[in-house]
Amino acid sequence: MKRKALILIGPEFEDIEALYPYYRLIEAGFDVTVAAPFSGEVEGKHGYRMNSKAIKDINPDDFDILVLPGGRGPERIRVSARDDAVRIVKSFYDSGKPIAAICHGPQLLLSAGIVKDIKLTSYPGIADDLKAGGAEWLNEKVVVHGNIITSRLPEDLPYWMEALLKALSNS
């Protein structure tokens, strides 16, 4: 049976940060679902569109891994679907399933209240927010802390996905 991945996006997501894991996880044999505040087509900052389910309809138990791309999506999720996104992130965290976040993606880790005493990275522009939440912020291309795998920017994408797939093969 196929493993299942969930990617959470919102309008103006950073296209490549959602598209790279999307195709990469299909290549690795996953069944990939994209979810956004509202169901239908969601457009990224660069004009790519992805078909999405509504976040409120997602049951995290149906998935093996969670991917949180950056851009403006995470703040849009906070504005329109915060409580359901928090429910999903917490569920993955509590059950020890891998969570991969990049760029602004870690904003949703903060909202879920799970960054305290966690080593992580992110887009440098939100480092102060994560530190305020108690995280230990590192300026590295990929940081793995337990099942939380974080990166900073598109150029970190290959190291981020490599770390995610390695975490899966270890578990």
Just list the catalytic residues.
Answer: 104
Instruction: Give the DSSP H/E element, type plus range, for residue 124.
Output: none
137-167 burial by CB neighbour count: b if 16+ within 10 A, else e? bbeebbbbbebbbbbbbeebbeebbebbbeb
Binding positions for its own copies, rule: CB under 8 A: 15-16, 19-20, 23-24, 26-27, 46-48, 75-76, 78-79, 82, 107, 110-111, 123-129, 132-134, 154, 157-159, 161-162
Q: Which is nearer to its own copies, 40 or 124 (CB)?
A: 124
- Smallest gap from Cβ 75 to its own copies, in A, equals 3
Q: Which is nearer to its own copies, 79 or 146 (CB)?
A: 79
- Smallest gap from Cβ 143 to its own copies, in A, equals 17
Measured at the CA of 48, the angle between CA 42 and CA 49, to 5 degrees, comes to 30
